[in-house]
Amino acid sequence: MEPGSTVSIKAARTLLLALFAVTVYRAATQSITPPEAATYNRFVGPNLQEALALTTSNNHVLNTLLARISTSIFHLTDLSLRLPGLLGGALYFWAVFRLARRTFGNGPLFLAAVALLSLNPLVLDYLSMARGYGLALAFWMWALALMLEYLESNQIVSGRNLNLAGMCLGLSIAANLAFLVPAAALAATFSFQPAPNQSGRRFQDFWLPAFIAAFLILVIPANHADFATFNHGATSLRETLNSLTALSLYHGNPSGLPPWLAAAGRIGTAGLAIAAVTMAIRSRAQPGLPHLLAGTILVSFAGLELGHRILRIAFPLGRSGLYFIPVLTLAGLCLVQRIDRRAVEWAMLLASSVYLLQFNVNRYGEWPEYANARSVVKAIRRDAGRRPVRVGASQGLDEVLNYYRARYALGLWPPVQSGPGTGSFDYYALNHPDAGLVAARHLRVIWRDGSLTVAR
């Protein structure tokens, strides 16, 4: 790496600091989404014994434990519930800078790496949400960075980097079980890389810390897990890649992704995978980032395919395949670095503007209809005053309203019930598919936006 602080390095630091400020703002201001609300209602809000009684796929254990701590210290707010996600955001941005600086030095390719890895709208969503994906991605990236430093070191070092890398992989899995596949793929690839002039013992220094970190956090929840809830996802790798392309390049309207763009995403992914493996084979005498990425891509794809065919495990869908975004992005950047053409490097930097065009601070890509969910509670509270009311809500919206019932200490309200068409209520909180109840039951609308309706 070139010493000193260049314009590109200052620009990268400014970008990452600005993005972290944006994630804090989003965590404090954006409405809670159904999976975040379900996490609180089932695993954060109840007492520990009740929370541990049954673990579902919505329980991202490390995030849940940290959220229980943050909400008990700072009282329940949207921001305090999302503090673990913000920790993941800070760690991820730090890992991006460290990895890009080590691999690409400085200049346009370094800045392109920072921009492409940090501006992806799907990645940004989960760096502020009260979910485990951001934490898992951050720890996975730190494991990758530490492994790379270990492999590229020319002096005899202690097992410290291996210890930290192993712990990071274990914490990644503990933060979200969807990262078991990329963590195992990266660990397996790393274990077969030669490390000249190094004396680390990889089982004691790497594998053991990874196992212990994951085991200590997951052992109790795993004993009470409902594994049937973990098998939600895509039916094919094609669907996985389509969902990631839609949420990365058509974030504002992922369901409207043009077929040609979905096909381009799949073809580009296949081309990147083939090129990454070819590049790794040609430079096999010098272990480094291309080898780790190529192995992770191959082992992950193979593991997902075998898991689906043999164990009938679903493929990742959208957020559960989040790890493919930095892996494929880094693979593409390594190819550009090998080409060594400044014009191509500038083109990569310009490509990051595609993400900037989708930049927003008021909705999450997978849950856009809940951007104003907080306003639903406020509308009911404003209309009902202090009197107790019975609220029926559409599926998903009921979880959000029950969270805000706890958030605003609305103890006079009975728990919000799901299925507004199955009973009689004082107020109806409806999503778009249930909006027909307004006419069917002759209700009076008191608040409405493009997706949600409140009526009585």
Name the residue among 375, 406, 409, 367 with its Cα closest to residue 125. 367
Q: Beta partners for 256? A: none
Q: How far, in Å, CA of 238 to CA of 228, rounded?
A: 23
Amino acid (1-letter code) at residue 422: T
What b/e string do you get for 258-274 counting C-beta neighbours within 10 Å, with b at 16 or more?
eeeebeebbeebeebbe
Average pLDDT, the chain: 89
Higher pLDDT, 224 or 429: 429
pLDDT digits over 357-368, tens only? 889 999 999 999
What pLDDT score does 4 carry? 46
pLDDT per position as a tens digit, 160-218? 788 899 999 999 999 999 999 999 999 999 988 776 555 557 777 888 888 999 888 88
CA distance 160 to 178: 27
pLDDT tens track for 245-294: 999 998 888 888 889 988 988 898 888 888 888 877 776 656 688 889 99
pLDDT tens sequence across 332-358: 999 888 887 888 888 888 888 899 988
- What pLDDT band is residue 43 in, cutting at 50, 70 and 90? very high
Q: Which of 161, 159, 23, 186 is nearest to 91 (CA)?
A: 23
Tally of CA atoms within 13 A in the half-sphere of 261 that contains its CB: 14
DSSP secondary structure of 380-424: HHHHHTTS---EEE-TTHHHHHHHHHHHTT-TTSPPPEE-GGGS-
